[in-house]
A and B are shown apart, each in its own frame.
Chain A
């Protein structure tokens, strides 16, 4: 990579940082408990909109992993999301009604919060429908992983987003508050992923899975990216570029081995495909606040009108991380 290209990336990173700084005015604190963040605390950062029903389990799941503090941006919820979050003892929440799209799909807000509160903390940036699974996550807390990464001088940890879906139609099993969504959306596609390199940012670009199979079989290039780097030992100069798919400086994107070995990696179980999606899709269609003119939601919307079945005979039923590792969807690397 030429020096000019590298310098362009540097400028780009600075630009995102400035942008994030300007967007600080979008954010009004509903409840700021960031003073309770201590050295070594592990944080979660997330943007939400009308996710009240999903929050109790989300918080429960990540508290059990060992997360110490949550940073939320509430983007104009009308279902009590903000009030609920403000009532949680380990949550800081900011409110905004500004445009999600113009905040680069929420990333400006997240970059702002991370720069201000996450410096020198391991931070997990996830959506409320994403559940982080890492090697040994059933027996070791997340601190075991971050301690190991620290000892190995590794700053970022890569995952693949695994789309989970129910057997049968999406509306068949309504989601109840507090329920583990993976109980309903138990199934996933095990071996139909397509990977290529993005040389500009040095990250991998992964597509495929159930979403490509069910929603984009004729336009695979429009299938959403599944590569995510949610766990980063944050530094105030870092910035997410596009969702959590990639970061700058781009060395953080090298979460994969290029010489035949396997680095440790995890999975984000993506429990988007529940009965709640139908409503969400029509709402997001009307808002038009999502990526690529909400093309993704448009596609869901069209397909969802026929109440589709994503399940197929070769769908795999989720058991635990060991199963995912055997299937080659994640790796322990040299962590044992």
Chain B
């Protein structure tokens, strides 16, 4: 007893011939169907090439069009021929011209001997099929499809819509429960004979002639009536991508295919010389009994589909430029925006870097240059600190920085003096953790030696900017995590906000927080605010700051040391 191969071919006939010879030489009869659309000259050449092989025959040619009955008809003709001409065949294996056997035929024969009464065919009810593309699954069986999908797409779609609208439904013949599955199966002679000889065959054919893609459902449905043992999986390794197009194998898949332990793979790129050479060379004589295990290949192709449909979050490049709201993540990693802290605490980036070990930049969007950590002029990915380059496209600057530093948490100072345009992106970004001490921008003014009129003008300008920024941060659309303290509250209890920032960054936190940050000297700040008020400007973002010139802000010491030392 042996296995016979039915091959459906329409291109790369030389490869099909190579594979057919391989099987024929190993005592497996082959019946080849060549698409009617293939030029006669090429067909004749194939026939001539196979003339030395008595166990290779050709079935009557049909014009095959994807998605139509013609494919099933071609299969039936070839299967008939196989069953009648080669009585020694117990299993019929349906393959295509671009299939390649991965394991020696002896192993396949042994495997089928062990499963001599089993039909290997993927056969799943429509409710359980996840792979259909274009939304036609159950409707494949209940609508009519007289128009070609490939050539008459618009008519096809219109007619489907029309039938849905008027509620047309075909009657499924009694006793049939529609099943679908991979086109490539391996069935026993017994099952095939029962299907071909069934008294209801004519009725079933009439029905399936008008079903959409019957090659994925005709045998898949009928085996449920006639088979005694179904293994619902295909012995052919064949993967489809998200558009329903088969994945193709190339020379560089050699190792993967080897390790898959599948019997046959489809589809092979016809110029993959190495694959054909290696796999058709014949076995190494070591008959293995391994079960097919396409897991690793599945993962690779699943990842490819994932990449095509969801992509890498936070990446903007020549073939991924999502519309607003479709980014699957505006940026690629969480980051902290520290608004106002730099004005209140001496050398805050250094302190925070020590406390958290994350990368803390100065004012990345500062007016003079992009203040990268450690005073670098160029940063990861060769980002320049040039203000003009950065402000030419601040969104690209920030998303690139985060993309370039994947794996290392980034934080940076921000404030009303910085480039404003970037804030709307950060507000819409769930990765942004924005902590604000409002009104802190006044501290550098307070400490500057400018004349007071200029200070007053600048204060009014900054307050206006920051008010708008706070309104944006507090608006309903904010997706960033935002926390806002007034400067007065912060000065009262500085460790609480700082602790929450450190917790949020969350890298082996607190271990190094042995030293408290140094707050700038605010003696006289209350009076400074009062002077601004006296000049007619109302600084309101700082909260309630006592005017008392002797006011001494709380010492900036960690109050809850035990909590910090956890």
Give me the interface of A with B, judged by CB distance under 8 Å: 136, 139-141, 143-144, 147-148, 151-152, 158-160, 189-197, 204, 206-208, 210, 212-213, 216-221, 227, 255-265, 312-316, 328-336
Residues of chain A within 8 A of B242, CB atoms compared? 334
Residues of chain B within 8 A of A143, CB atoms compared? 271
Q: Does B479 lie at the interface of the complex (its beta carbon under 8 Å from any beta carbon of A)? A: no
Max chain A C-beta neighbours (<10 A), residue from B381, B382, B384, B386: B382
Tell me which of A141, A220, A263 contacts B389 (CB under 8 A): A220
Tell me which of B250, B271, B396 contacts A208 (CB under 8 A): B396
* With contact pairs A191-B404, A336-B304 given, residues A144 and B310 touching in the complex (Cβ less than 8 Å): no
Tell me which of B311, B315, B386 contacts A218 (CB under 8 A): B386
B321 touches A195 (CB 8 A): yes
A228 to chain B, nearest CB (A): 8
**1/0 contact trace for B242-259 toward A, CB 8 Å?**
110101101110000000
Residues of chain A within 8 A of B147, CB atoms compared? none
- Cβ-closest 4 pairs across A and B: A191-B381, A265-B319, A334-B308, A336-B304
Tell me which of B269, B318, B392, B403 contacts A147 (CB under 8 A): B269
A144 touches B323 (CB 8 A): no
Residues of chain A within 8 A of B397, CB atoms compared? 194
A196 touches B320 (CB 8 A): no
- Count of A-B contacts judged by CB separation below 8 Å: 181
Tell me which of B311, B382, B400 contacts A315 (CB under 8 A): B382
A221 touches B378 (CB 8 A): no
Residues of chain B within 8 A of A328, CB atoms compared? 312, 315, 317, 403
Tell me which of B245, B318, B386 contacts A265 (CB under 8 A): B318
Query: CA A336 – CA B239 in complex, angstroms?
Result: 11
A257 touches B320 (CB 8 A): yes
B389 touches A331 (CB 8 A): no
Give me 23 A-to-B residue pairs in the complex whose CB atoms sit less than 8 angstroms apart, sorted by A's number: A139-B251, A139-B252, A144-B269, A189-B381, A189-B382, A190-B382, A191-B380, A192-B382, A192-B389, A213-B378, A220-B393, A255-B319, A257-B308, A257-B321, A258-B326, A260-B309, A260-B320, A261-B308, A262-B315, A265-B319, A312-B378, A314-B379, A334-B305
Query: CA A197 – CA B321 in complex, angstroms?
Result: 9
Tell me which of B245, B307, B316 contacts A261 (CB under 8 A): B307
Query: CA A90 – CA B328 in complex, angstroms?
Result: 47
Q: Does B327 lie at the interface of the complex (its beta carbon under 8 Å from any beta carbon of A)? A: yes
B388 touches A218 (CB 8 A): yes
Residues of chain A within 8 A of B245, CB atoms compared? 151-152
B311 touches A262 (CB 8 A): yes
Q: Does B444 lie at the interface of the complex (its beta carbon under 8 Å from any beta carbon of A)? A: no
Query: CA A213 – CA B384 in complex, angstroms?
Result: 6
Tell me which of A151, A213, A256, A316 contacts B321 (CB under 8 A): A256
Query: CA A191 – CA B396 in complex, angstroms?
Result: 10
Residues of chain A within 8 A of B376, CB atoms compared? 313
B307 touches A333 (CB 8 A): yes
Nearest residue, chain B, Cβ from A196: B393
* With contact pairs A148-B248, A152-B245, A191-B403 given, residues A258 and B303 touching in the complex (Cβ less than 8 Å): no
Residues of chain A within 8 A of B248, CB atoms compared? 147-148, 151
Max chain B C-beta neighbours (<10 A), residue from A160, A258, A313, A334: A334
Residues of chain A within 8 A of B269, CB atoms compared? 144, 147
Q: Does B241 lie at the interface of the complex (its beta carbon under 8 Å from any beta carbon of A)? A: yes
Query: CA A190 – CA B378 in complex, angstroms?
Result: 12
A225 to chain B, nearest CB (A): 11
Q: Does B301 lie at the interface of the complex (its beta carbon under 8 Å from any beta carbon of A)? A: yes
Residues of chain B within 8 A of A192, CB atoms compared? 381-384, 389, 400
A312 to chain B, nearest CB (A): 5
B332 to chain A, nearest CB (A): 9
A314 touches B317 (CB 8 A): no
B204 to chain A, nearest CB (A): 32
Nearest residue, chain A, Cβ from B274: A139
A139 to chain B, nearest CB (A): 4
Q: A195-B321, A258-B323, A260-B322 given. 19 additional CB < 8 A pairs?
A: A139-B251, A158-B319, A189-B381, A220-B393, A221-B392, A255-B318, A257-B322, A259-B326, A260-B309, A260-B320, A262-B312, A262-B315, A312-B382, A328-B403, A330-B317, A331-B320, A333-B304, A334-B304, A334-B309
Query: CA A193 – CA B381 in complex, angstroms?
Result: 9
Nearest residue, chain B, Cβ from A197: B321
Query: CA A328 – CA B378 in complex, angstroms?
Result: 19
Query: CA A133 – CA B316 in complex, angstroms?
Result: 19
* With contact pairs A148-B248, A193-B396, A333-B319 given, residues A260 and B303 touching in the complex (Cβ less than 8 Å): no
**1/0 contact trace for B36-79 toward A, CB 8 Å?**
00000000000000000000000000000000000000000000
Tell me which of B315, B380, B392 contacts A194 (CB under 8 A): B392
Residues of chain B within 8 A of A217, CB atoms compared? 384, 386, 388-389
Residues of chain B within 8 A of A151, CB atoms compared? 245, 248
Q: Does B300 lie at the interface of the complex (its beta carbon under 8 Å from any beta carbon of A)? A: yes
Give me the interface of B with A, judged by CB distance under 8 Å: 241-243, 245, 247-248, 250-252, 269, 271, 300-301, 303-305, 307-312, 315-323, 326-328, 376, 378-384, 386, 388-389, 392-393, 396-397, 400-401, 403-404
B320 to chain A, nearest CB (A): 4
* With contact pairs A151-B245, A152-B245, A332-B304 given, residues A212 and B320 touching in the complex (Cβ less than 8 Å): no
Nearest residue, chain B, Cβ from A214: B384
Query: CA A256 – CA B307 in complex, angstroms?
Result: 13
Query: CA A143 – CA B319 in complex, angstroms?
Result: 21
B320 touches A336 (CB 8 A): no
* With contact pairs A256-B318, A331-B319 given, residues A261 and B400 touching in the complex (Cβ less than 8 Å): no
* With contact pairs A144-B250, A261-B309 given, residues A335 and B389 touching in the complex (Cβ less than 8 Å): no
Query: CA A206 – CA B321 in complex, angstroms?
Result: 11
Residues of chain B within 8 A of A190, CB atoms compared? 381-382, 404
* With contact pairs A220-B389, A312-B382 given, residues A331 and B317 touching in the complex (Cβ less than 8 Å): yes
B396 touches A194 (CB 8 A): yes
Nearest residue, chain B, Cβ from A212: B389
Query: CA A141 – CA B379 in complex, angstroms?
Result: 36
A331 touches B307 (CB 8 A): yes
Residues of chain A within 8 A of B317, CB atoms compared? 160, 193, 195, 256, 262, 265, 328-331
Query: CA A141 – CA B272 in complex, angstroms?
Result: 10
Query: CA A332 – CA B312 in complex, angstroms?
Result: 12
Residues of chain A within 8 A of B378, CB atoms compared? 213, 312-314
Residues of chain B within 8 A of A259, CB atoms compared? 322-323, 326
A204 touches B318 (CB 8 A): yes
Query: CA A219 – CA B315 in complex, angstroms?
Result: 25
Query: CA A160 – CA B353 in complex, angstroms?
Result: 36
B310 touches A261 (CB 8 A): yes
A206 touches B323 (CB 8 A): no
Query: CA A156 – CA B305 in complex, angstroms?
Result: 20
Query: CA A316 – CA B393 in complex, angstroms?
Result: 22
Tell me which of B320, B381, B383 contacts A263 (CB under 8 A): B320
Residues of chain A within 8 A of B328, CB atoms compared? 260
A333 to chain B, nearest CB (A): 5
Nearest residue, chain A, Cβ from B390: A220
* With contact pairs A151-B245, A221-B392, A262-B312 given, residues A210 and B321 touching in the complex (Cβ less than 8 Å): no
Residues of chain A within 8 A of B379, CB atoms compared? 314
Residues of chain A within 8 A of B300, CB atoms compared? 336
Query: CA A257 – CA B311 in complex, angstroms?
Result: 9
Nearest residue, chain A, Cβ from B322: A260
B271 to chain A, nearest CB (A): 6
* With contact pairs A191-B380, A194-B396, A328-B403 given, residues A262 and B388 touching in the complex (Cβ less than 8 Å): no
A159 to chain B, nearest CB (A): 6
Nearest residue, chain A, Cβ from B329: A260
A260 touches B271 (CB 8 A): no
Tell me which of B250, B252, B308, B382 contacts A314 (CB under 8 A): B382
Residues of chain B within 8 A of A148, CB atoms compared? 248
